């Protein structure tokens, strides 16, 4: 049996330190599925593990891409599954860790299969979005796949404000001539591992305090200078994220620095709440308080392992 020990939970909850402790305990390697930590130009604002942490256990998919590359969750699945298969040739264990729920799902469950979309369709949708804004994408999805539009509106309305997701929905509809939802819920790829899922959580006030402290540390570590270097490229998809957007608005003269920092804290707190909502839907996850003794978590993992006799 091969086991993928998966650590989920909101930002700043302690997933990195736990992943390293478990990697050392089970003498295995770590796959990161934090979609912001892929990009080598974004180090401070994405809380990339320190050099000391990276040296404590082998890590994969951290700062391995550039913000100038288009990199989707589908691309991640295509790269991460072969890497896991490679790791499992010599080890019964691997660690999956990160706060990007969609990327965790990509590894644990796989995605529905979609036909390739002609690049001209993608470019046309992107151009019209740039001309008309998010309302164009919303109107198109409502027209081309009304059932899916209604489903999103009810279950996950923030997705309607996500241009990358919305462009994907619309380009599939246009490129295939079929509703996006017609490709959903097909047979998923089988996985050759058994997941053991560990969730970390804390009282909301504690979680928010940890987030506020982390933002202060980021500012002290040079986040402002990092954001200034990235500012000329602020329109790139990779940079449409908390911690950078607020500072870009400050550079544009829309706010003071103090206000921008408070906005980062507020928006990160909101983000953590969405993360927790997403992860709480994860089947078979065992949740622990973030201060739970490591041995307790290790004992739980060992109790779920079937050792070959």
The annotated binding site for ATP is made up of: 9-16
Backbone angles phi, psi at 114, to 5 degrees: -120, 145
Annotated binding site for substrate: 11-16
For every residue of the chain, DSSP letters joined together read: --EEEEEE--TTSSHHHHHHHHHHHTT--EEE--TTTTBTT--TTTTPPPHHHHHHS-EESSS-B-TTS---HHHHHHHHHHHHHHHHTT-SEEEEE-S-HHHHHHHHT---------HHHHHHHHHHHHHH-HHHHHHHHHHH-HHHHHHHHHH-GGGGG-HHHHHHHHHHHHHHSS-GGGGTT-PPPP-SSEEEEEEEE--HHHHHHHHHHHHHHHHHHTHHHHHHHHGGGTTSGGG-STTTHHHHHHHTTSS-HHHHHHHHHHHHHHHHHHHHHHHTT-TTEEEEETTS-HHHHHHHHHHT-----
Binding residues: 9-16
Residue 8 sits at the vertex; the CA angle it makes with 52 and 226, to the nearest 5 degrees, is 50
């Amino acid at each position: 049996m091969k086991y993928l020990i998966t650590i989920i939970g909101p930002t700043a909850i302690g997933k990195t330190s736990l992943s390293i402790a478990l990697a050392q305990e089970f003498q295995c390697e770590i796959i990161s599925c934090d979609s912001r930590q892929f990009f080598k130009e974004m180090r401070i604002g994405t809380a990339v593990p320190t050099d000391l942490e990276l040296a404590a256990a082998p890590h994969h998919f951290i700062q391995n891409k550039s913000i100038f590359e288009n990199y989707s969750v589908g691309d991640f699945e295509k790269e991460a599954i072969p890497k896991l298969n490679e790791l499992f040739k010599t080890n019964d264990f691997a660690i999956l860790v990160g706060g990007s729920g969609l990327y965790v799902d990509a590894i644990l469950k796989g995605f529905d299969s979609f036909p390739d979309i002609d690049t001209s369709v993608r470019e046309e949708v992107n151009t019209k979005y740039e001309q008309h804004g998010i309302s164009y994408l919303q109107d198109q999805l409502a027209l081309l796949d009304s059932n899916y539009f209604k489903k999103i509106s009810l279950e996950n309305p923030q997705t309607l404000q996500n241009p990358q997701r919305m462009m994907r929905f619309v380009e599939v509809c246009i490129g295939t001539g079929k509703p996006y939802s017609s490709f959903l819920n097909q047979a998923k790829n089988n996985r050759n591992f058994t997941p053991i899922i560990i969730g970390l959580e804390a009282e909301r006030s504690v979680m928010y305090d940890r987030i506020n402290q982390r933002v202060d540390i980021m500012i002290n570590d040079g986040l402002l200078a990092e954001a200034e270097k990235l500012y000329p490229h602020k329109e790139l998809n990779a940079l449409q994220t908390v911690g950078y957007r607020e500072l870009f608005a400050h550079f544009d003269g829309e706010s003071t620095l103090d206000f921008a920092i408070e906005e980062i804290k507020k928006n990160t707190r909101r983000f953590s709440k969405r993360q927790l909502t997403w992860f709480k839907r994860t089947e078979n996850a065992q949740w622990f308080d973030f201060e739970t003794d490591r041995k307790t978590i290790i004992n739980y993992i060992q109790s779920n392992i079937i050792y070959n006799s």
